[in-house]
Amino acid sequence: MPDSSSDPLPGTDLDALIDDATTTADVKALSAFGYETRYRLVRLLVDADGAVRFDEITPYVSISDSAVSHALTLLCDAGLVKKQKDGRSRSYSTTERAEALVEALDRTR
């Protein structure tokens, strides 16, 4: 039986590799994928060619406009989606991080 008190990665200081801010940001991003609606919104935006207007997004999900808005706000807060305002209109696009996460999921499926 292995010694549980030994360092699983000899010579590695996990606290030095992943600080609290990095851990918080990563968990927030991964948690955003934990709900089907948010995941579907990210997939939709990753597959889109450029920014997508809010009114073009809503027909693709079967939830209220306010729920879509809330989900997009959470995705923005998690660093997965960017919001651009043009007067009263809003458009959304994915970040490089969201694209990399979706690509990783696709590649490892």
Find how far residue 79's CA is from the centre of its chain. 6
Q: Specify if 27 maps to a domain.
A: yes
Under 8 Å between Cβ of 82 and 35: no
What would the mean pLDDT of 53-78 be, rounded to a whole number? 94
User: Roughly how many angstroms between the first and final C-alpha of the chain, as a whole number?
Assistant: 33
Instruction: Name the domain count of the chain.
Output: 1
Q: Specify if 78 maps to a domain.
A: yes
Q: Could you list the residue range(s) of the whole structural domain that residue 40 is in?
A: 19-107
- 75 burial level (CB within 10 Å; 0-12, 13-18, 19+): buried
8-25 pLDDT tens trace: 666 677 677 778 888 899
**Pairwise CA distance, residues 77 & 25, whole Å:** 10
Q: Specify if 13 maps to a domain.
A: no
The confidence score (pLDDT) of residue 83 equals 97
